[in-house]
């Protein structure tokens, strides 16, 4: 991706992700900090900061069509341009999308709590966190989602082949994990009765 004062372009419009996510190289040819968003809907996307010059990033965005947009002044300025690109499905992505959910709800601890020191503990913590945040049924299956080696750990709650909720955790840079975001669908009969914490 290249961001300039006069515009923005995606140099590789069809890409494949790796085991830890989509690897992005951003060339910021301005003297100002840039902010690049990658989106395909109002609640589906991510952003990254790109210093002047070249920088590399890894994003946990799944297969499909996306639109990247570059903003200057760290996101405070107007967009200089947008460009579409496609992430090819290679079979390593496990979807984090909620099934048949038009408007999702999300909640998280404030401030985030340090919840684990080992990644192997997170599946059980995802269940207990979702039971607290969105009142999932006890018979739902909790399984890893996203890319298998991505930095953020995401788990999805499945019932009858439907994803009814997700729970994320973030590394705390000290060898542990912070509680992230719980997502659910307010109209889902499995999770919709909860009012959150």
- Model-level pTM? 0.84
* Predicted local distance difference test score (pLDDT) of residue 75: 67
Domains of the chain: 2-88 (2.60.40.10), 105-184 (2.20.25)
Of 74-78, 102-106, 142-146, 153-157, give the lowest mean pLDDT range: 74-78
Would you tell me how many other CB atoms lie within 10 Å of the CB of residue 15? 14
Of 16-30, 57-71, 101-115, give the lowest mean pLDDT range: 101-115
Residue 197 clears pLDDT 70, i.e. is over it: no
CA distance 182 to 127: 10
The phi and psi torsions of 119 (rounded to 5 degrees) equal -60, -30
* Predicted local distance difference test score (pLDDT) of residue 194: 43
The phi and psi torsions of 109 (rounded to 5 degrees) equal -70, 150
pLDDT in tens, 95-148: 999 998 888 888 887 787 888 788 899 999 999 989 888 878 888 999 999 999
Tell me the average pLDDT of the chain. 89
The phi and psi torsions of 118 (rounded to 5 degrees) equal -130, 135
H/E run at residue 183: strand 177-184
* Predicted local distance difference test score (pLDDT) of residue 190: 61
* Predicted local distance difference test score (pLDDT) of residue 116: 79
Give the rounded percent of residues in the chain with a pLDDT score beyond 70. Answer: 93
Would you tell me how many other CB atoms lie within 10 Å of the CB of residue 144? 16
Which residues neighbour 63 within 8 Å (Cβ) at sequence distance 6 or greater? Answer: 17, 87, 88, 89, 90, 93
**Six token digits for residue 106:** 């999300």
Answer yes or no: are the C-beta atoms of 153 and 142 closer than 8 Å: no
CA distance 32 to 70: 12
Q: What dihedral do alpha carbons 14, 18, 22, 24 form, nearest 10°?
A: -80
Give the rounded percent of residues in the chain with a pLDDT score beyond 90. Answer: 68
Rounded mean pLDDT, 172-195: 77
CA distance 87 to 16: 6
């Amino acid at each position: 991706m290249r961001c300039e004062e006069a515009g923005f372009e995606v140099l590789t419009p069809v890409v494949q992700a790796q085991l830890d996510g989509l690897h992005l190289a951003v060339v910021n040819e301005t003297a100002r900090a840039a902010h690049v968003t990658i989106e395909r809907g109002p609640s589906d996307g991510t952003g990254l900061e790109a210093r002047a010059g070249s920088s590399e990033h890894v994003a946990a965005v799944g297969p499909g069509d996306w639109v990247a947009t570059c903003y200057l002044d760290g996101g405070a300025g107007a967009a200089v341009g947008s460009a579409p690109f496609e992430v090819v499905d290679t079979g390593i992505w496990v979807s984090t999308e909620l099934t048949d959910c038009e408007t999702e709800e999300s909640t998280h601890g404030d401030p985030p709590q340090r919840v684990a020191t080992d990644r192997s503990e997170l599946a059980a913590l995802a269940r207990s966190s979702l039971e607290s945040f969105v009142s999932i049924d006890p018979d739902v299956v909790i399984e890893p989602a996203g890319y298998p080696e991505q930095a953020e750990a995401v788990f999805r709650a499945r019932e009858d082949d439907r994803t009814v909720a997700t729970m994320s955790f973030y590394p705390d840079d000290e060898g542990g994990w912070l509680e992230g975001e719980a997502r659910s669908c307010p109209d889902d009969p499995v999770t919709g009765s909860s009012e959150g914490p």
